[in-house]
Structure 1
Amino acid sequence: MRTARFCTGFLGVAIALSAPASRAQSFIEPPMFEAEVTAQNMPPVAERLPMRPRVINLGESGRMPGRYGGTLRMLIADQRDIRLAVMYSYARLVTYNTKLQLEPDILDKVDIAEGRIFTLHIRPGHRWSDGQPFTSEDFRYFWEDVANNPRLSPGGPPLQLRPLGRKPKFEVIDALTVRYTWDVPNPGFLPALAAAQPVYIYMPAHYMRQFHTSYAEKGVLDALIKKEKVRDWGALHERKSRQFRPENPALPSLDPWRNTTPLPSEVFVFERNPYYHRVDENGRQLPYIDNLRLSVVSSQLIPAKVGAGDSDLQARYLRFDNFTFLKVAEKRNGFLTHLWRRAEGSYIALQPNLNASDPVWR
């Protein structure tokens, strides 16, 4: 179950479910960045967007274009729940539309041959949140320096990249194109990239190299290990590289908002990404909302705080037995309560004991 205020701005951000359209002829600068652009501290929006941004036609999906500004508030019970910002914004290499069809999002195009050869095309001019180019080097770095590095990935590349246990042949075609070729079809590859918790096959190489033993100077790396109080460079690299749980404010992002708050904290503030790759049909760079504010509170208090109007969007830590209370509080605090459709087939799973000492039972 979730409860959410009526928020035009957020509806405009839920754009991964809309179909792409043609490139707008002109672009509208988010007011949040106007002063920075005027002071020449930031390029104008037309220079920050990819040459072919993803255009979301909200009118085709029955939605009205949103308005700029504001802060979306959410309540979380654990610092690790900052991952909700990544889940809800749903920026992926490919995404599902409302018809549950896969389509490019961060990527410009995907070519598939024989169900086993996937050629991924990056949008020309696409940039990370720090303004650095997003290129095939970010895919190469992940594949060669992370996924196939015994210290960082002792089990090898993600399972979704190893159908029948077979790794793909990875190729850099050019600065904006990479290719994965398997000996057998891999129908789970694109769905894994589009998942709520996606398989990341890229990293911001320009930033992450400073934490990798193959690139960083030993003395500098040792100093960072000591400063972060971790056991070795692998632990340091892992801590600094988390994209799904963005605990490192310095990590460049492709998501609509980037975390600005280091651990530990009771309030996490995410700010809009000035280089985000989506626009609406009128040329407004998305997202509409300027900031996300995630406040850590006791899970037992979240239903009461939601009912009191302390959250604008809440899905976690609400139960069906909160439904009546929230429905009663709707008119008083101006939110809507919806029942959430769940996709689980069952809450029960049978787990065979594979560690039994008796070989027959095992």
Structure 2
Amino acid sequence: MNEVQGPSRRSLLYGAAVMAGSAMLAGCSSGDSKSSDGGNGKSGGASDKNESPSNAKGSATRPLTPPAKLSEAPSLAALVKAGKLPALKDRLPDHPYVLPHNWVTSGKYGGQLNLVDMTTAGGTYGSVREHMYGFSPLRWLNDGQDVGPGLAESFESNAEATQWTFHFRKGLKWSDGQPWTTADVLFWWQDWTLYPGTGQVPPDELRSGSGKVAKLEAPDAQTLVITFDKPAPLLAQQMAAYVNGGDGGNGRIWSMPKHYLKQFHPKYTPSVGEDWASAGGAFVKNYLFATNPDCPTMTGWKLKSLKEGSSMVWERNPFYYEVDKEGQQLPYVDEVRVTLTSDQQVALLQIQTGKIDFAHCSFMGIGLGEYAGIKASSAKANTSIQLWNSGSGTGQMFFLNYDFQDPKLRKLFREPKFRQALSHAVDRSKIQKAIYFNQGTPTTGTASPMSTEFNADQQGKQDYQRWRDSYLKYDPAKAKQLLDELNVKDTDGDGWRELPDGSKLALEIDFPADEGPDAKKVDAYMEKDWRAVGLNAKRVPIPPNSFDDQWTSGKLMGHTNWEVSNVGSNLVQPYWVVPIESSRWAPLEGQYYAVRGSDMESKERDVDPYKRHPPRMEPEKGGPIERIWKFYDQAKVEPDPVKRSSLIWQLLKIHINEGPFFQGSVGNYPVMEVHKKDLHNVPTHDNLAFGGLTGPWGHPTPAVYDPECFYWEDPGKHDV
């Protein structure tokens, strides 16, 4: 979720905050954030004791029995009495989704919740959608360790995991009261994802191990059958990942309101245009429920109004399919008002002055450097601060371009000893103190410590620690030794090391010119430490609008401003551990994998890899990427979980023994959640199974903790 940090600048309190913030964070920490516990340590405990009325931990893993008695918000009951809304029993499915979190207590109806979100011109408000989990067939529970029901009440697969059957709740309704059925899934699939001209690409989870697209069938209004030509054992986890679809990085939406959108589709309404080229603009304008109030939604709140770049208002969805354990239909809060701003300082000031009721600070690029200021203003603003674990495997990071276009430098970058020298040369303790206020865990750079393989047993925890610590030690002498062994020495006496052939070596730390301040500070520490071992390293800003194109074509040396965050198995979001696309550490080889099995695979074989369209190259025979691909191709179609886990570990051992392919700084650092003290059911760090998992977009936070259950102690004080 926080791979790319948005634009920000430090407050004037920053200079004092390094010391004051460290002391404050240490005071509220549980004391074991730096423990070697495989990622389960608490990186900053609860700072306020009254934030959740319950000390219960985690969430039920099995669906709860629907309550016998149901109730609703008084405002909806009044509409029912006036004949303006159907009775509650006719609005809810036969078996509503029952809130599974153990920390939640029955709440009160009413009031308004004020949020803030960063925006740009023409934004699609992906962060706002991360507050609601309505569209997903399945949902993550317990910080990504379990998968539970969502729109689907139950599901199963055959023994080979080639056919999956999903049983959706009978009686689901869109926010306009129209029935939700599997026809809405097929509309999303056939008339949007696969429809000619839309430019959509079938998602990874609906492609088999051979690359062939799955077959989706709906035998009836509540049943969906997905069939693959090869086993697809990870489908359930992949369906829980991401939330609410559409543009803006939120993944798949899985269903669209056919009854509403068909009026904009040329297949159903020819008058809008003969084909997608003429009709698609109107469809795209209307299908996003976060920008079009008329588009029906399955989320707990529905858009009421939008003032572009200024504000948006969401009102209770009277047909939302979730209830609490007492049978009260959610959400509790009547209305959500979102202030939109492009200035991080505006967002920060609103939090500090108490104008915002709940803030997931990573959405605004507000890091731990602002903790002291927010804490100092908390009494007047009536706010509490929670520190939820990020689950990041790296913190701010760096990686070389494994496919850099210069052959001499590419050969050097592919040498494990060179990358290991870079890692040993960096003093992460300084980064931990200055950027993360002595929170989190210094790391070589790994996948998320929350990954299921790392928490399955004690051996998994130990192997994770081995990866985390593999090239972690700050050891400039070791770094110099490794460089000497590669014959990367200062041969001309100018103080800088040259390439083995004696030519100049200038190591560029390329970064998007608009990267956030934390990333810039980490870059500066790396630059200084690499120069200290004789490498002529320098930071090079790149125009943001050209960065991606230069990276994927092999023109840039290195990359910063990202983090590694993933959820569930390492293969649910495999992009960091397996190069299968072009944006990460092996862009051309990743692109080569992406076109495997397509018509493009056999084209341009006689063309220079850097001049192909798109640029792509085969991996070295017997090299690490070819071996990683081999294990990945086997693991992703292996239905036996034990055998699959073994293959995943074979893959990860290549990272441990021949890496680091990406270099981290401080992992699993805490992320601030700020909320009013009289807002209840906001989970504490200790309520959450692993202390939280805020990092990956594929684990939609705070949606996984159901903000629909947040409620005011006295709703009358927060009336709309």
- Residue of structure 1 in register with 2:293 after alignment: 249
1-structure distance, mates of 2:47, 2:118: 16
Are 1:37 and 2:87 counterparts?
Answer: no
Give the aligned residue type for 2:119: D
Indicate how the Cα distance of structure 1 residues 232 and 108 shifts in structure 2: closer, same or farther if over 3 A, else same: same
Are 1:168 and 2:209 counterparts?
Answer: no
Secondary structure of 1:232's match? helix
Q: Deviations over 1:38-67 (max 9, x none)?
A: 111101212110011012255xx1332111
**Bigger mean CA deviation after superposition, 341-350 or 34-43:** 341-350
Secondary structure of 1:137's match? helix
Secondary structure of 2:83's match? coil
Q: How many matched pairs?
A: 344
Q: Find 1:300's aligned residue among 342, 345, 357.
A: 345
C-alpha contact 1:71 1:293 (8 A) present in aligned 2: yes
Q: Deviations over 1:261-298 (max 9, x none)?
A: 24525110001111111111111001111111101132
Deviation of 1:313 (Å):
1.1
Give the aligned residue type for 2:214: P
**Bigger mean CA deviation after superposition, 207-216 or 192-201:** 192-201
Deviation of 1:304 (Å):
1.8
C-alpha contact 1:193 1:200 (8 A) present in aligned 2: no
Give the aligned residue type for 1:359: D
2-structure distance, mates of 1:355, 1:62: 49
Indicate how the Cα distance of structure 1 residues 311 and 181 shifts in structure 2: closer, same or farther if over 3 A, else same: same
Indicate how the Cα distance of structure 1 residues 360 and 120 shifts in structure 2: closer, same or farther if over 3 A, else same: closer
Are 1:51 and 2:94 counterparts?
Answer: yes
Unaligned stretches of 5+ in structure 1? none
Deviation of 1:248 (Å):
1.1
- Residue of structure 1 in register with 2:411 after alignment: none
- Residue of structure 2 in register with 1:137 after alignment: 183
**Bigger mean CA deviation after superposition, 251-260 or 231-240:** 231-240
Secondary structure of 1:239's match? helix
Indicate how the Cα distance of structure 1 residues 57 and 144 shifts in structure 2: closer, same or farther if over 3 A, else same: closer
Indicate how the Cα distance of structure 1 residues 340 and 232 shifts in structure 2: closer, same or farther if over 3 A, else same: farther
- Residue of structure 1 in register with 2:147 after alignment: 102
Give the aligned residue type for 2:265: H
Indicate how the Cα distance of structure 1 residues 156 and 94 shifts in structure 2: closer, same or farther if over 3 A, else same: same
C-alpha contact 1:192 1:199 (8 A) present in aligned 2: no
Q: Deviations over 1:303-340 (max 9, x none)?
A: 12201101111122212110011111122221111234
2-structure distance, mates of 1:70, 1:360: 59
Secondary structure of 1:172's match? strand
Secondary structure of 2:305's match? coil
- Residue of structure 1 in register with 2:327 after alignment: 283
Indicate how the Cα distance of structure 1 residues 82 and 281 shifts in structure 2: closer, same or farther if over 3 A, else same: same
Deviation of 1:300 (Å):
1.9
Indicate how the Cα distance of structure 1 residues 332 and 192 shifts in structure 2: closer, same or farther if over 3 A, else same: same
Q: Find 1:355's aligned residue among 547, 553, 560.
A: 553
Unaligned stretches of 5+ in structure 2? 1-43, 243-249, 405-551, 556-606, 611-616, 618-720
Deviation of 1:121 (Å):
1.1
Secondary structure of 1:271's match? strand
Are 1:208 and 2:234 counterparts?
Answer: no
Indicate how the Cα distance of structure 1 residues 108 and 232 shifts in structure 2: closer, same or farther if over 3 A, else same: same
Give the aligned residue type for 2:369: D
1-structure distance, mates of 2:317, 2:285: 22
Indicate how the Cα distance of structure 1 residues 7 and 279 shifts in structure 2: closer, same or farther if over 3 A, else same: farther
Relative to total residues, which structure has the larger strand share, 1 or 2?
1
C-alpha contact 2:167 2:222 (8 A) present in aligned 1: yes
2-structure distance, mates of 1:68, 1:356: 55
Secondary structure of 2:398's match? coil
Q: Find 1:192's aligned residue among 221, 238, 242.
A: 238
Identity across the alignment (%):
25
Deviation of 1:341 (Å):
1.7
2-structure distance, mates of 1:195, 1:239: 25
2-structure distance, mates of 1:172, 1:81: 31
Give the aligned residue type for 1:95: R
Q: Find 2:385's aligned residue among 324, 333, 337.
A: 337
Secondary structure of 1:109's match? strand
1-structure distance, mates of 2:368, 2:278: 45
Secondary structure of 1:260's match? strand
Deviation of 1:17 (Å):
5.2
Give the aligned residue type for 1:325: G
> Could you say what the CA RMSD is over the residues aligned between the two structures, in angstroms?
3.0
Give the aligned residue type for 1:167: V
TM alignment of 1:37-116, pairs within 5 A:
37-56=80-99, 61-78=102-119, 80=123, 82-91=125-134, 92-98=136-142, 100-113=145-158, 114-116=160-162
1-structure distance, mates of 2:207, 2:194: 12
**Bigger mean CA deviation after superposition, 49-58 or 173-182:** 49-58
Q: Deviations over 1:96-138 (max 9, x none)?
A: 1126211111111111122221111110111110111111111
Deviation of 1:89 (Å):
2.3
Higher relative contact order (CA 8 A, sep 6+): 1
Give the aligned residue type for 2:130: M
Are 1:321 and 2:369 counterparts?
Answer: yes
C-alpha contact 1:247 1:263 (8 A) present in aligned 2: no
Indicate how the Cα distance of structure 1 residues 261 and 108 shifts in structure 2: closer, same or farther if over 3 A, else same: same
- Residue of structure 1 in register with 2:505 after alignment: none
2-structure distance, mates of 1:217, 1:284: 44
